[in-house]
Structure 1
Amino acid sequence: MQEKRHIFLTGDKQVGKSTLWKRVLEELDISPSGFLTLPYTVKGNFRGFCLHGLGPLPPGFENDIPISIYLQARKHRPIVDSFEEFGSRLLERAQEDSNYIMMDELGRFEKNAPNFQKAVMQCLDGDHHVLGVLQDTQNPFIDKVRKRQDILLITVDKKNREDLVEKVIAALKKLKS
């Protein structure tokens, strides 16, 4: 069995995966590079999601680049160019900046972004530890990440999320040793 080098959380939407990572990173005082996926709003109204870079941004880019536009209830249109340009360069930059790379989250929006997918795989194949969130979805890209033998994949649900803080901390400390 291959040694685990990366940790990803998965589970239903809004179950607390990102919050769990935030608590773990604060407890261990770790500041990763990489990205968070955050709501994108206009005048206080939800309009989609954006990529929020952690650590130094690639030259020529501002932060919080929209990656999807909200069209109607539960329907989003991905902005593939945001992944291909900003997202891929953000991950290239992250490999130069930190021992830990955050990818919160990977899912269906990136399925038609080959440069971004390549950057994700380069991070996973590199010397860094990748910490992330995988949407509970299926597509060839997510399935490829999920099946890697060097990833510890932890399922978060409403019943176990509080208990997982210590488990994830222990797993992360094990990666460091």
Structure 2
Amino acid sequence: MQRHLFLTGDIQVGKSTIISRVLAELDVPVSGFLTVAVPDAEGSSNIFLVDAQDPVCSEKCRLAHRVPGKMPEVREEVFVAIGIPLLQDAAGPLILMDELGWMESSSYAFQQAVFAVLDEDVPVLGVVRDKRLAFLNAVRDHHAVEVLVVTRENREEMVDVVRERVLRAMRDTRGT
């Protein structure tokens, strides 16, 4: 059984909501990161890469600025300054990676940090975008990763599925 679980699916289908619900039910400490989009009054939004334990949005963790109809302006240095330390310091019982997407494509040091975590025993719960890019393909193809596709039709039942898989992965990790 794979010890890491990633959700994928269409944008806004409920992947991160499933993770939030599962984490609330499990009530276990998590480490790692999550991305938070904060819209502004003009219809743009800032995307922040924040600590899963303390999800505070600040300028130093502002990863990108997204304007409708344009590609986001990505601050790749945030992956190095914030993302890598969050992954290097990540510890059990559960590590969060919400989400991995195309913005990481040219941040090879961050990619290496992701794979270093995936090569370890602490279970990871995350979201991987449904895009065909070398980095994302490698995450999906990692020997310890299971990927579940979330749809509008299955998203409610996925809460139970994800919770049970995460509980089993944490239990199996403690047993080793």
Q: How many angstroms apart in 1 are the aligned matches of 2:39 and 2:158?
A: 31
Q: Aligned letter for 2:72?
A: H
Q: CA deviation at 1:45?
A: 5.3
Matched with 2:35 is 37
Establish whether residue 109 from structure 1 lines up as the match of residue 127 from structure 2. no
5+ residue gaps, structure 2? 172-176
1:21 aligns with 2:15: no
Question: Displacement of 1:86 after TM fit?
Answer: 1.1
| Among candidates 142, 149, 155, match of residue 161 of structure 1 | 155
The one-letter code of the counterpart of 2:52 is: L
Counterpart in 2 of 1:12? 10
Q: Which amino acid aligns with 2:9?
A: G
Among 48, 64, 68, the alignment partner of 2:64 is 68
TM normalised by structure 2 equals 0.87
Partner of 2:146: 152
Deviation at residue 89 of structure 1 after TM alignment: 1.0
* Unmatched 5+ stretches in structure 1: none
The 3 A distance-change label for structure 1 pair 119 and 63 is farther
Q: How far did residue 6 of structure 1 move?
A: 0.4
1:81-118, CA deviations, whole angstroms, 9 ceiling, x for partnerless residues? 111221111111113xx321100000000000011111
SS at 2:99's partner residue?
strand
Number of residue pairs the alignment of both structures matches: 169
Tell me how far 1:70 sits from its aligned partner.
1.6
CA RMSD of aligned residues (A): 2.0
Report the equivalent of 2:131. Answer: 137
Q: Say whether residues 1:90 and 2:108 are aligned partners.
A: no
1:151 corresponds to which letter in structure 2? V
Residue 17 and residue 64 in structure 1: after superposition, are their counterparts in 2 closer, same or farther (change >3 A)? farther
Identity of aligned residues (%): 34
Matched to 1:140, the amino acid is A
Which one has the bigger strand percentage? 1
Moved over 3 A (4+): 40-46
Aligned residues of 1:34 and 1:102 also touching (Cα < 8 A): yes
Does the CA contact (< 8 Å) of 1:51 and 1:64 recur in 2? no
* Cα contact 1:56–1:93 (8 A) shared by 2: no
- Name the aligned partner's letter for residue 8 of structure 1: F
Instruction: Tell me the amino acid that sits aligned with residue 108 of structure 1.
Output: W
Following superposition, the deviation at residue 47 of structure 1 comes to 2.8
Once the two structures are TM-superposed, the CA of residue 63 in structure 1 deviates from its matched residue by 7.8
**Corresponding residue to 1:55 among 43, 53, 56:** 53
- What TM-score results when the alignment is normalised by the length of structure 1? 0.87
